[in-house]
Amino acid sequence: MCGFAGKYSPGATVSAQAQQLLLSAMLSPISHRGPDETGYYCDEQVALAHCRLSIVDPAHGQQPMVDPSSQVVLVYNGEVFNHPELRQTLTRLGHQFTTHCDTEVVLRAYLEYGQSFVQHLNGQFAIVIWDPREQQLLLVRDRVGICPLFYSDTRDGILFGSEVKAIIPAMMDSPRLNLAVLDEIFTCWTPLGSETVFANIQTVQPGEMICLSHGRRQHWKYWSFDYSPQKNAMSETEWAASLHEELTDAVRIRLRSDVPVGAYLSGGLDSSIITTLINRLSPERLNTYSLGFSDPDVDERCYQRMLIESLNVSHTECHVTEEDICDAFAESVWHAETPMLRAAPVPMGLLSAKVNAAGFKVVLTGEGADEVFGGYDLFKETKIRQFWSRQPQSESRPLLLKKLYQYLQLPAQGQAEYLRAFFNVMLDQPDHVLYSHMPRWTTTAKAKQFYSDDLNAALQTSALSRAEKILSSGSSMSSFQRAQYIESTLLMPGYLLSTQGDRMLSMHSVEGRFPFLDHRVIELASRLPDALKMKVLNEKYLLKKAFASQLPPAIAQRSKQPYRAPDARLLKVLVERDDIREGLSESRIRAKGLFSAHKVQRLMRKARSKPLNTSESQALIGIISTQILTESFGLTTL
């Protein structure tokens, strides 16, 4: 995990001194991504800056890296985990190496294979390559969107960087809020396409390569999720053995590092599998890290302790209070560079601070398993709603959702009516591409009642209509696959791996590695029949079958509990803070013009007196984080 920034300006004439000053201004706001060393490269057309978190071959591999023969230059954030094998292949083809780092392997892979080099990489990466021979600039992002890469068009070229805050210092105009993307976040939790909440700043999409050459720009989608189940390819036992082999190897190659590697341990199935595999593969005693909360509804420490005792790992617990989350909230928004509708990312940042304080730079985590193998309650919920849609007047069928969400505090009378009111969304369109997510997105979108009249007037199209258009390629999939597709292509790169992932790790100079997102594991899972991902309502069925014998039974048989922060409790604390009260004062709300001042004040009063419901909680956290974002980045709003 590193950071970089740069500018491509063909035809422009800028002095080397001016380029250096510009690069320093761009790199400074993202120095947390790479505190170990910095490097710069400038020529007549390209200026590149890099800050490094040294993990592989720390003594060498400085960036930007230039090939002395071709003068091709590269900056790179991330890791290529198959670099030893790729190095051997390239050596046989005649390449000579001067370092042991993966950066040189990536550079030489490009020299050998051209633009198809990316197909040879197994890893997580954001890469920029300048090839003066072809007068060609490449921007490349890994298959699933683990490493971020942003860009912005200028009058004479393009700016790019690992975070938005690296681009803003080089922009000619003051940054503006993208109102359409704000509306997308207040509906779907995440931007829906390449645009960001910062107007005129876009993201390279997961699995995408952008080529700029001779005034032309080409976008190449070199990888995408492909659900092609093979029903009779193998028996359950054979599938499980194949999965065990692939995931074990994904963990093995992600332990490649010249610095110590730790692991996050949540107490759930996914992190328990990863931790168990590391413990088996690594000769060193494993260091694990976990979150603990005072709120028993979100605390998982009893399950964490089961595995800690079973594996005899060296464990560090990060106990997080509501006050801790409030103290770190504004800084977390600055690092996330987006409004947040939940506080869940903030404790993840506090956990990475613990990792950094312990002297660790790398952790393996279980992210991605729920998307790849169908673990979320949403997948079960979709299956029940499909069943319900066949008899929409049934009294008994919606009650199946009560078994799914046993923690819901339902009224003693009229439970079917209550569940119908919440989940009876688009029930008459069970084949609609958005069907699986509509109950949640409808709930989230209730936050729009707090929009100002001016914001409502400025919004020209519906976020849901844009979502339907963007996700239309999923219309031919099964209902289960469509739900997976939405989670994997929207929410995973836009929220889980970004706001809650990369940003909360990088703020404390920690790199996360995700074995479940090895493309070989994903491609195997995409070939699985739906019934092997979820058998009746038993989620991640094959994953459990493959690893149950290696885990404590209570963990192997445990139902999915999503990671959550104690939002209901912390809001009561958050709204009493002086900085938040000032930030949400009527004058400050009116100055930005995005929300209705009197409605926000009414919501604040309610939060002080009693717990908010889910939609109100999301609305208030979203409003607070939006105000913080627009003020900290000086965004022009309306």
* Residues that constitute the known binding site for L-glutamine: 102
Catalytic option among 2, 42, 101, 147: 2
CA distance 28 to 40: 13
CA distance 117 to 109: 5
Token pair belonging to 60: 């060498």
φ/ψ (deg, to 5) at 10: -65, 130
The conformation of residue 405, written as its DSSP 8-state character, comes to: T
- Cβ of 320: how many Cβ atoms within 10 Å? 24
CA distance 583 to 560: 37
Pairing of strands 314-320, 362-364: unpaired
Contacting residues for 364 by C-beta, under 8 A, at least 6 apart: 251, 254, 255, 261, 262, 263, 264, 274, 278, 512, 513, 514, 515
CA angle centred on 132, ends 127 and 134, rounded to 5°: 90
SS3 assignment, position 401: helix
Q: Which stretch of DSSP H or E encloses residue 108?
A: helix 102-113
Q: Where are the alpha helices (DSSP H) in 528-596?
A: 530-533, 541-547, 553-556, 567-574, 578-583, 586-592
Does the active-site annotation cover 2? yes
Q: What's the Cα-to-Cα distance from 277 to each of 147, 248, 370, rounded to whole Å?
A: 24, 7, 18
Q: Number of C-alpha atoms within 13 angstroms, CB side, residue 410? A: 21
Bridge partners of 291, per DSSP, are 318
Amino acid at 603: L
| Angle, helix 614-632 to helix 597-609, in steps of 10 degrees | 120
- Cβ of 278: how many Cβ atoms within 10 Å? 23
Catalytic residue set: 2
